[in-house]
């Protein structure tokens, strides 16, 4: 079979990446249609599938599509998802609009593809959640994870193409001795680290931090798992890095954990400290697998604790790749 596919938000960073992933993974596309705002409608976009004229997303006829990838705002997704699914079109939504809806599956295919069931609407998780999920779930299945503490070092791509552009432009301004400004981020991002991603909540965590809590619990089907997270924006391009500490029900040792993780789909073990091999944004960029390394016994939790470092491409496994992998399961 081949499928009629639409991408809503095709001109954005995630939309463009979905096009590339569909082609790279030989997804059976019968016809690809690209949609964006009225400003972009009528423009021609070069793609691996040939030149495609962009259409107005607000005028999409979903009866002419089998699968629609929503790489667009949450508000737009809420307004249009039912219109699409009622026309018989599958919707894979990259926004946060439906992630916390009990009636909508939130899916990382390597973990819970069976959650899709007969749902026409499937939510893609937050990038930070998706990058940590596979190694964390692998360890949870084997050892039983009681507590999780995560500190993130998140790339500017998490704020879209505008975030990456601001990093490039303001770094150039800094190096040229010009005034450094900020529009996308709360403060200038060049040569800085900003412990503030998304809005602050009543518990003083940010929404980005709470997304990791809410989504990990839902994907793992562990509503009471103890999770805490601190999210920091740093001046890198497109790879999120995360330091993860876990306390486990069963004793765990690093050697066994390394062996376990080395055999898992979607994970690349990079853990050879004698030769300075460990996960880094520079090596994880544009890579499908999530790099995992620096695996060691945690000094606080002892033989019931593990500490490790992960790096994953925010636009790929954190968004476009996971979305296409969901489509492959439909």
Please enumerate, by residue number, every residue annotated as part of a binding site for NADP(+).
11-14, 39-40, 157-158
Nearest to 94 by CA among 15, 212, 16, 185: 15
Nearest to 298 by CA among 261, 216, 243: 243
Q: Which two tokens stand for residue 318?
A: 């954190």
Please enumerate, by residue number, every residue annotated as part of a binding site for substrate.
154, 233
**Spatial separation of the C-alpha atoms in residues 11 and 14, rounded to whole Å:** 8
- Is 240 among the residues known to form the active site? yes
Contact 220, 137 (CB under 8 A): yes
Most distant CA pair in the chain: distance in Å?
60
Please enumerate, by residue number, every residue annotated as part of a binding site for phosphate.
99
**Spatial separation of the C-alpha atoms in residues 101 and 74, rounded to whole Å:** 13
Q: Which of 127, 229, 231, 311 is catalytic?
A: 127
Q: Which of 89, 140, 240, 311 is catalytic?
A: 240
- Is 196 among the residues known to form the active site? no
Kindly report the number of other CB atoms within 10 A of residue 184's CB atom.
17
Contact 91, 72 (CB under 8 A): no
Please enumerate, by residue number, every residue annotated as part of a binding site.
11-14, 39-40, 99, 154, 157-158, 233
Nearest to 94 by CA among 7, 21, 153: 7
Instruction: For residue 185, give Cα distances in angstroms to 9, 163, 168, 206.
Output: 22, 8, 13, 14
Supply the residues annotated as catalytic: 127, 240
């Amino acid at each position: 079979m081949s499928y009629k596919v639409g991408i809503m938000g095709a001109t954005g960073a995630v939309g463009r990446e979905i096009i590339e992933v569909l082609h790279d993974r030989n997804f059976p596309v019968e016809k690809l249609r690209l949609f964006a705002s009225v400003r972009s409608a009528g423009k021609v976009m070069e793609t691996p599938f040939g030149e495609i004229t962009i259409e107005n997303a607000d005028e999409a006829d979903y009866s002419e599509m089998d699968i629609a990838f929503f790489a667009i705002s949450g508000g737009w997704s809420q307004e249009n998802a039912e219109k699409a699914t009622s026309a018989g079109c599958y919707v894979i939504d990259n926004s946060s609009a439906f992630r916390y809806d009990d009636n909508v599956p939130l899916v990382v295919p390597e973990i819970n593809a069976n959650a899709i069931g007969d749902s026409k609407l499937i939510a893609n998780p937050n990038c930070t959640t998706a990058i940590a999920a596979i190694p964390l779930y692998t360890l949870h299945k084997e050892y039983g994870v009681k507590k999780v503490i995560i500190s993130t070092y998140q790339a500017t791509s998490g704020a879209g193409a505008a975030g990456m552009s601001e990093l490039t432009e303001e770094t150039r301004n800094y190096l040229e001795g010009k005034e450094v400004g900020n529009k996308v981020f709360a403060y200038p991002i060049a040569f800085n680290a900003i412990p503030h991603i998304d809005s602050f909540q009543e518990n003083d965590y940010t929404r980005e931090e709470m997304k990791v809590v809410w989504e990990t619990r839902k994907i793992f089907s562990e509503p009471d798992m103890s999770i805490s997270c601190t999210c920091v924006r740093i001046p890198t391009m497109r790879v999120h890095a995360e330091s993860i500490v876990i306390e486990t029900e069963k004793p765990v040792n690093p050697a066994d954990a390394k062996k376990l993780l080395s055999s898992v789909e979607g994970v690349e073990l990079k853990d050879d400290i004698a030769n300075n091999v460990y996960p880094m944004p520079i090596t994880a960029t544009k890579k499908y697998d999530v790099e995992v390394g620096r695996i060691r016994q945690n000094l606080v939790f002892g033989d019931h604790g593990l500490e490790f470092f992960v790096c994953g491409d925010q636009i790929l496994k954190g968004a476009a790749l996971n979305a296409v992998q969901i489509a492959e399961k439909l």
